[in-house]
Structure 1
């Protein structure tokens, strides 16, 4: 019998190579694949609402997750606060997240190239044409969508609030 943790871990993949067969199966069953990515260091309401909206755009949601090394390069030496496995388990626990795939690079470009999602999403603070992977998704007949962000929610704000209380 699978434990709840085993079920969550089954949604987590270390690379595009390990996830490709699952995505291929979904595509063969005409499932619309949505892809988004991020660090998701401290999961908050803004993240959850964003991911739920992303999931509603298709049949399966893949979250590309920056590895710890990638987060450090992007956010600084003191980040991430939560390790990649912990962040992945939390994301996998969301019922509308179907797959979590790690990527080591600063951007998920190679991951998007391998998985070829139908829909690519990022927050509305991005210009769609500047979203990493735009060219790949558009060349494959897909779409790139931006999603309105929840006002007042950010990991940086949470960290600052904690610092002020110490």
Structure 2
């Protein structure tokens, strides 16, 4: 098994890994998303998220979850492809797939020390913020790099394709 594949965990495997990290005094950061087409904005965001602690856990939406959130034409890449791409980054320490609309149950199970989302959210609108705060953790937002979004990338590809035909 390749090192990146070893980062893709089931929930029980993740919880065991998080317990091990906590025993070692490691600070666990959690974020989530679809990460369908990875762009520079994602890389910037995730690297900054990882710098808020010692380990970064990424909750990744399953294909069915992405379709429910983004529509029937998404995701463009299947969950195993997205998992492998995300696992290849040094700043992502573990990936777990979740099928719910939100990562609330996952956050409840993991109990991260730091919960992070982009600054298109406020602390109060981040799913699971109350769970993390009640457990003595922190909830933070990271400034997003302007001009980068998956929707913008998709729109540009479609516009370019339309121009060529």
Same fold per TM (> 0.5)?
A: yes
2:82 corresponds to which of 83, 87, 93 = 87
Q: Which residue of 2 is the match for residue 9 of structure 1? A: 5
Gaps of 5+ in 2: none
2:13 is aligned to: 18
> Which of 113, 117, 121 is the matching residue for 1:118?
113
Match of 1:79, SS state, is coil
Following superposition, the deviation at residue 51 of structure 1 comes to: 0.1
TM-score, normalising length: structure 2: 0.96
| Residue 127 (1) aligns with residue 109 (2) | no
- Equivalent in the alignment of 2:27: 32
Equivalent pairs, count: 161
- Write out the 4+ residue segments of structure 1 that deviate beyond 4 Å after TM superposition: none
SS at match of 1:10: helix
Q: What secondary structure is seen at the aligned counterpart in 1 of 2:31?
A: strand
Aligned match of 1:103? 98
The correspondence for 2:55, drawn from 55, 60, 65, is 60
Matched, 1:139 2:134: yes
CA distance in 2, matches of 1:18, 1:97: 16
Shift of 1:33: 0.2
- Residues 11-48 of structure 1: CA deviation (Å, up to 9, x unaligned): 0023x222110000001111000000000000000000
- Matches of 1:126 and 1:46 in 2, distance apart? 15
Give the counterpart of 1:42 among 37, 41, 46: 37
